[in-house]
Chain A
């Protein structure tokens, strides 16, 4: 069974640009969550989606947004990039709420 796939693996963007990251969950999983990982702040929750509905949102500015499609694939978008947005963005897939979450390899975003 294929794991969680995140694309792209690495990305370099310039301040002010926007970026879209993609996540394909494990087959059959309907819940997708996103996390930001930085050396200073650790792993922080961004959003949770289940059956195309955002069920929970972390404490991030409105520049961070996401969505989930009918096939459970998810995307997150960051607009007007800032240097501080440089991080590893991780997607986690699970069958549903309160079940085991499995992480992808992440997308390493560097903002210059």
Chain B
């Protein structure tokens, strides 16, 4: 079955810096890759996603890139703000299903 690895487990940056989180997946049948942000006491919030027919997607300060050949995808956050502090999860979903396989999460801390 699918396995998703996520790095780093923790990431500390200064406000205004960029942050990059990387994930790799194992199953070439996966074709949907969402990213979620989870704040303390809340459920995961979808922040951006990408499908296997697209190499890059951007939404304001957030971007995701996908390399199907290498089976890895990355989240890029520019101009980080303290409110970006949270745990971020990548996930992969096989074609035809709504089953998400999650990475282990990255705790992002943005210091003022």
Contacts and interface: CB of A to CB of B under 8 A. Distances in A.
Contacts of B49: 100
A105 to B, nearest CB: 5
A102 interface: yes
Contact of B97 (A56, A92, A102, A106): A56
Contacts, number: 66
Interface stretch (B13-21, B38-46, B58-66, B78-86): B38-46
Contacts of A90: 43-44
Interface stretch (A41-49, A63-71, A73-81): A41-49
A30 B34 CA distance: 19
Interface residues of B, number: 25
Interface residues of A, number: 27
B100 A101 contact: yes
19 contacts: A43-B100, A44-B102, A45-B99, A45-B100, A48-B99, A56-B98, A92-B98, A94-B98, A96-B98, A97-B97, A97-B98, A98-B96, A98-B98, A100-B46, A101-B34, A101-B100, A104-B43, A105-B42, A105-B43
Given A43-B91, A98-B32, A98-B93, 8 more contacts: A43-B44, A56-B99, A97-B97, A98-B31, A98-B96, A101-B98, A104-B43, A105-B42
Interface of A: 4, 31, 33, 35, 42-45, 48, 50, 55-56, 58, 90, 92, 94, 96-106
Interface of B: 31-32, 34, 36, 41-46, 49, 89, 91, 93, 95-105
